């Protein structure tokens, strides 16, 4: 059915390392593995992991073998040398450019509708049910979480603000708050 894109190239500089690769719980799995299992249960058949080049080996050796064998898994490396024409980044800039750039780096794997999540966030089974139902209808959807349920008492976080524009097509798009 659908394709799930997982943004897993973060540096985890505030955390002290790549938190998307931290294993926990009785199964010793990463958050993205729990999310992938929920997505697979809801019919997602393809996963595109957008990764840092230096994390490829650990993902190929530790994460991918634990995923369902009939799940298509693609690894796209995000790096600042893969840029759209006329886009320049200073050589001294050593951070990745963000979500739009990550999707640009994964473009060869994205041939139809897809859903995007962060590797270091947990999404409920209900969120994947909503994503799967919208993918079946080829509908655009944002699954949003209440801000007061996502803030941390351990420091500041950045959150995007989504607004419905005048171009919003309610026949083919939805905003669903969980």
Average pLDDT over residues 146-167: 63
Provide the residue ranges of all domains of the chain, joining segments of one domain with +: 3-138
pLDDT the model gives residue 39: 93
In sequence order, the 6+-apart residues with CB closer than 8 A to the CB of 52 are 9, 11, 18, 77, 78, 79, 96
Domain made up of 3-138: CATH architecture: Alpha-Beta Complex (3.90)
pLDDT beyond 50 at 177: no
Cα–Cα distance measured from residue 113 to residue 108, given in angstroms and rounded to the nearest whole number: 13
* Candidate ranges 31-40, 116-125, 143-152, 168-177; pick with highest mean pLDDT: 31-40
Beta bridge partners of 3: 46, 114
pLDDT beyond 60 at 142: yes
The chain-wide mean pLDDT, for the chain, equals 79
pLDDT the model gives residue 77: 93
pLDDT the model gives residue 178: 44
Cβ of 60: how many Cβ atoms within 10 Å? 13
């Amino acid at each position: 059915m659908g394709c799930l894109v997982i943004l897993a190239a973060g540096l985890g500089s505030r955390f002290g390392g790549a938190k998307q690769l931290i294993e926990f719980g009785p199964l010793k799995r990463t958050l993205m593995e729990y999310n992938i299992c929920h997505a697979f249960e809801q019919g997602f058949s393809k996963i595109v992991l957008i990764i840092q080049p230096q994390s490829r080996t650990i993902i190929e050796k530790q994460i991918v073998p634990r995923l369902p064998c009939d799940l298509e898994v693609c690894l796209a490396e995000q790096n600042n040398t893969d840029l759209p024409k006329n886009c320049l980044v200073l050589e001294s800039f050593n951070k990745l450019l963000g979500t739009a750039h990550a999707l640009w780096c994964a473009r060869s794997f994205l041939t139809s509708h897809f859903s995007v999540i962060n590797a270091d966030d947990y999404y409920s089974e209900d969120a994947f049910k909503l994503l799967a139902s919208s993918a079946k209808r080829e509908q655009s959807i944002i699954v949003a979480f209440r801000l007061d349920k996502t803030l941390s008492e351990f420091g500041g976080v950045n959150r995007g603000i989504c607004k419905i524009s005048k171009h919003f097509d309610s026949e083919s798009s939805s905003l669903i708050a969980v």
